[in-house]
Structure 1
Amino acid sequence: MARYTGPQCRLCRRESMKLYLKWDRCYSDKCAFERRNYAPGQHGQRRGKLSDYGVQLREKQKIKRTYGLLEKQFKAYFKEADRQKGVTGTNFLILLERRLDNTVYRLGFANSRSQARQLVRHNHFLVNGRKVNIPSYLLRPGDVISVREKSRSLGVINEALDALPRRGLVPWLELEKEAYRGTMRSLPTREEMPLPVQEHLVVEFYSK
């Protein structure tokens, strides 16, 4: 499967905001976005005003890169959200938040979504007691996500749990840290999702 393998900090600089793709580095003085707060490339500091299309495109790219998705999969989520009842933009973000790799990250079992995706792929997690190694698996309210018994001594998981207080736990998830277990209590509302994005611009982008 194709995936982006370039510098992660370059993505933050391109989108003019921290996407928190580099774990602890994003919170340190070494953060490239803090040191060079302008777009990458030779003419990054002379970036002109964006057109309406450019603003919509950048917002789409911002969300896509935050969740680590490629265009085909990202667009498939949008089409699914558009078929559902309610506000398309909110439905879209809820679908992305329901992904197993994102939930593993939100619960603090990984320091980033890319790390969470790798841990899921390597069979370190159970959903309702059953092994699931598909990062895009969509969770439902009441689902229980737990770390396999053999994986609870992994340094990356324990380090991530220790760092969770720095970013906080979202209200629609419940964590039992000592049991290495978390539960999706409910679907998130837009107000509960800590995403500084304007999803209506993505709706406008795909509605053309």
Structure 2
Amino acid sequence: MARNLDAKCRQCRREGEKLFLKGEKCFTDKCSIERRAYAPGQHGQKSGQRLSGYGQQLREKQKIRRIYGILERQFRKTFAEAERRKGQTGENLLQLLESRLDAVAYRMGFGASRAEARQVVRHNGVLVNGQRVNIPSYNVRPGDVVQLADHSKAQLRSKGALEAAESRGFPEWLEVNVKEAKGVFKSYPARDELPPSINEGLVVELYSR
């Protein structure tokens, strides 16, 4: 399976904002954005660089891909599905990305980061409606019950991730029982419930060229 092996902190610095790829480190002053808020590389500190319209669209697409940890081919397939659905393509895109099993597991606190949540899924650590599912891109639907398998509940890493997620609060579209390590995907998130720093309209413009 193909993966993006670029250093997580370099990806955040390249996009100029926190993408929360390193778990709890992103919430401390050890975050690379806090220490070096400029792009990596020898030309990273040069200011005044202006992007063209295409450049802005491309950067936004790369940012969203990095946030959700998916590669170009899979992202294009997700965008094509968003176009087929009724409603606004950009909002459909974000809803499809947030309904991926690895994203839901991360939001429920089953992993400190999306990469860790994906690993838990791949290692048979997550059940959907009582059935073991190990496909990170599995589409969770409203009403589905997602929970940690017994062997994953016992891990200290999972307990720590759940406690940290509880302290930050869970999204409105999820209902999570921390003690049982179980949650319900109540509905697809509304656009105003998702980060305002994401400009999905630029991605729609990019693929509409």
Q: TM-score, normalised by structure 2?
A: 0.96
Residue in 2 that maps onto 1:6: 6
Q: Distance in 2 between matches of 1:61 and 1:205?
A: 11
State the shift of 1:88 in Å: 0.2
State the shift of 1:150 in Å: 2.5
Say how many residue pairs are matched: 208
Specify every segment of 5 or more residues in structure 1 that has no aligned partner in the other structure, as ranges: none
Q: Distance in 1 between matches of 2:191 and 2:161?
A: 26
* Superposition map of 1:135-154 within 5 A: 135-154=136-155
Where 1:46 maps in the other structure, the secondary structure is coil
- 2:166, 2:178 within 8 Å by CA — same for their partners in 1? no
Q: Distance in 1 between matches of 2:42 and 2:168?
A: 34
Residue in 2 that maps onto 1:83: 84
Residue in 2 that maps onto 1:110: 111
1:16 aligns with 2:24: no
Segment drifting more, 64-73 vs 183-192:
183-192
Specify every segment of 5 or more residues in structure 2 that has no aligned partner in the other structure, as ranges: none
Q: Distance in 1 between matches of 2:6 and 2:67?
A: 15
Residue in 1 that maps onto 2:26: 26
Q: Distance in 1 between matches of 2:119 and 2:131?
A: 18
Residue in 2 that maps onto 1:69: 70
**What is the CA deviation profile of residues 21-64 of structure 1, one whole-angstrom value per residue up to 9, with x for unaligned ones?**
11121122221111110111111111511111111011101100
Q: Distance in 1 between matches of 2:42 and 2:151?
A: 48
Residue in 2 that maps onto 1:192: 193
Where 2:112 maps in the other structure, the secondary structure is coil
Does the C-alpha gap of structure 1 residues 195 and 120 become closer, same or farther in structure 2, counting only changes over 3 Å?
farther
The amino acid that maps onto 1:125 is V
State the shift of 1:96 in Å: 0.2
The amino acid that maps onto 2:15 is E
1:93 aligns with 2:71: no
Percent identity of paired positions between Structure 1 and Structure 2: 54
Q: Distance in 1 between matches of 2:151 and 2:80?
A: 39
**What is the CA deviation profile of residues 53-109 of structure 1, one whole-angstrom value per residue up to 9, with x for unaligned ones?**
111011101100000000000011001101111000000000000000000000111
Residue in 1 that maps onto 2:174: 173
Q: TM-score, normalised by structure 1?
A: 0.97
Does the C-alpha gap of structure 1 residues 187 and 155 become closer, same or farther in structure 2, counting only changes over 3 Å?
same
Where 2:135 maps in the other structure, the secondary structure is coil
